[in-house]
Structure 1
């Protein structure tokens, strides 16, 4: 089983890689990184994973990555997730989060592969939650309050 984790160098991605390596010894774990990725979260597993350079904003690099890995499963965790940055750089946030996800899907389609895909969402998507809507359910209306939240819807 080949697993590709976008955002493997982040908090969630690195812990997911740990979990897969510990619980699925037959899995080959691939991580998609950018040239400027901070590696400290995966240094302890670097010898047990395969790293592939690609950028969600670059279809060519995505296709190359996916063609090389041929993943059975993709955990798409890469994102610009810092809400204050989304206010300062809304276009970049959308380029990474929304357009980047579309680029990932289109690359998969163009290669004719069919991995199972898990997308990371965010409670930020719900935004404004009224007191009578608590506890929240997945059926709650979406009322995003930041560019980041909108990019995750």
Structure 2
């Protein structure tokens, strides 16, 4: 009788954590998740998996809680998805962002070094590390020029992962994931803010959608596709870092237009520009080159941009409709 491979996911209650949980369970893993103690526990994204996984209290700012978790769980793989990941918040809370998003990765790597150096470690790096890009598209050799405290913290976490790999021979990799969205995305993020507002406007619960920079360009993919790349990275013989992206970029305006087209509404009449949503330092364009991942991992995205927008709009239409009918709180 073979023992199931064991994985620990930090940030398991987030969008990526939920999709990764689904993927690993389907592959026969024993899945453990780290959650922070809070007064309002929010497990909606992983609710349907709660009887199949084990949750543990821990925190990336508490070194010993990580050491104890690794000793208790004895995982083969650790996926570090936890972070303060909302870019606008990183400007108002830069120290917290640095502590959790940057130093948090260091604490987990140090815990692995202390407890079991055979553990394979995945770090969730971000396209926001590229920031003010000098070249396009961006690949693994593109220099980093982050434009937010979040981006800066992710650069630190990325390089400390490289450092632990080179210094201690750990199997530690970073996935430089470009923007990846889904119906599970938080409503504070612009894509889900748009689709949620579209649904509410269509159902007569909202008049206007207020947005900042409509000209910002992003490489948007589906989160369910991207967690497959995370898993593949930890199955390779040699640890390497990879850019994960679709290779296509679209403006926020294009996303808005497709979303309103889905419900048959003219977006120009429903959207207002609000300078309060502009960033102090804007990242104007990001577009990834995932050739290395295609060639070495055999990975490629399955969901294209229009399918992603329609998927998110349809999910929010259904959810808001049920809420309007009193079927949801």
Q: TM-score, normalised by structure 2?
A: 0.44
For these two proteins, the number of residue pairs brought into alignment is: 149
Q: Name the residue aligned to 1:73.
A: 77
Following superposition, the deviation at residue 50 of structure 1 comes to 0.7
The CA RMSD measured in Å over matched residues stands at: 1.1
Q: Name the residue aligned to 1:55.
A: 59
Q: Which has the larger radius of gyration?
A: 2
Following superposition, the deviation at residue 38 of structure 1 comes to 2.0
- How many Å separate the matches in 2 of 1:117 and 1:76? 7
Matched, 1:7 2:11: yes
**Structure 1 runs (4+) greater than 4 angstroms displaced:** none
- How many Å separate the matches in 1 of 2:16 and 2:104? 18
- Could you tell me whether the CA contact under 8 Å between 1:66 and 1:108 is conserved in 2? yes
Q: Name the residue aligned to 2:152.
A: 150
Q: Name the residue aligned to 1:88.
A: 92
Q: Name the residue aligned to 1:97.
A: 101
- How many Å separate the matches in 1 of 2:150 and 2:24? 28
Following superposition, the deviation at residue 76 of structure 1 comes to 0.7
- How many Å separate the matches in 1 of 2:57 and 2:74? 15
- How many Å separate the matches in 2 of 1:34 and 1:78? 10
Q: 2:122 aligns with which of 118, 137, 143?
A: 118
Unaligned stretches of 5+ residues in structure 2: 156-329
Following superposition, the deviation at residue 61 of structure 1 comes to 1.0
- How many Å separate the matches in 2 of 1:113 and 1:66? 11
- Could you tell me whether the CA contact under 8 Å between 1:70 and 1:113 is conserved in 2? no
Cα deviation code 1:75-123 (max 9, x no counterpart): 1100000011100010000010111111111111122342111111110
Following superposition, the deviation at residue 134 of structure 1 comes to 1.5
- How many Å separate the matches in 1 of 2:137 and 2:113? 38
Following superposition, the deviation at residue 129 of structure 1 comes to 1.5
Q: Name the residue aligned to 1:32.
A: 34
Describe the SS at the equivalent of 1:108.
Answer: helix
Unaligned stretches of 5+ residues in structure 1: none
Between 98-107 and 87-96, the greater mean CA deviation after superposition: 98-107
- How many Å separate the matches in 2 of 1:112 and 1:71? 9
